[in-house]
Amino acid sequence: MRQARLLTPDGPVTGRYEDGTVHASDGTYEVGVDGRLLPPCDPTALYCVGRNFAETLDQMDYERPEEPDFFIKPPASLLAHGEPVSYPEFTDELTYAGELAAVIGERCRDVAPEDVSEVVRGYTILNDVDALDQQGRTARKAFDGSAPLGPWIETDLDPTDVDMHTDVAGERRQEANTELMLFDPYEVVSHLSRRFTFRPGDVVAFGSPANPGHLEPGDEVAITYEGVGTLRNTVE
């Protein structure tokens, strides 16, 4: 099942998404007519894993990590599906990264890998936008609008064997499968839960395959994870 959030003139509504319609408890809403999609959850933090695909290590000349390597994006970084990505004036090297992301469904800590599926509400897609020429991960990755997320949450997905691809301005830039991750989604969520107390709506993103090339104003970034959907945003 797909769950989506919609911003209507009367405020946000949440419900089951099907064929362009959100079925909420108080009625049905047509996307683009009755409102626009919001990020599909309201996280207190987005926990993002890097260096989780071997080809990314090769691209960036990184060493293979012994455990998941992570950083945090704040809620201010969120953008919804379809919202424009503003090209920051402080960078000349804006990049993208198409990532599968889990949405936590309940407050939890110290979750064993075999229990992760019980605390995850479902899966969505993150674009880890990065100002590559800035110093330090916070400056590079935690600015406003650096985390397009959506378009919805898919509640029925095995995250360990999912094909993905990313197209930028119509050019295929990424193509991989989540089975190529160094640390699978269950390992990642469990590892981070030993350090942080997750709250409902928090996001855990699992890293990106190699992402060659930069973004330019006017580029549409379309990230597809099979079984979830396609996240689309255009750089302006």
Q: Output the pLDDT for position 57.
A: 47
**What mean pLDDT do residues 112-132 have?**
98
pLDDT (0 to 100) of residue 62: 60
Find all residues with CB under 8 Å of 47, minimum gap 6, and list them. 70, 72, 192, 196, 202, 203, 204, 205
Q: Which residues contact 101 (CB under 8 A, 6 or more apart)?
A: 46, 123, 124, 125, 126, 149, 203, 204, 205, 206
Q: pLDDT over 90 for what percent of the chain? A: 93
- pLDDT score, position 55: 65
Task: Pull the structure tokens for residue 88.
Answer: 């920051």
pLDDT at 234 over 60: yes
- Mean pLDDT computed over every residue of the chain: 95
d(CA 114, CA 133): 39
Q: How confident is the model at residue 58 (pLDDT cuts 50, 70, 90)?
A: low
What is the per-residue pLDDT across 186-217, written as a single tens digit (0 to 9) for each?
Answer: 999 999 999 999 999 999 999 999 999 999 99
Mean pLDDT, residues 17-21: 97
pLDDT in tens, 144-181: 999 999 999 999 999 999 999 999 999 999 999 999 99
Helix (H) and strand (E) counts in the chain: 4, 18
Task: For residues 48 and 151, give the distance between their C-alpha atoms in angstroms, rounded to a whole number.
Answer: 18
Which tokens in the block code for residue 127?
A: 């674009």
pLDDT value at residue 163? 97
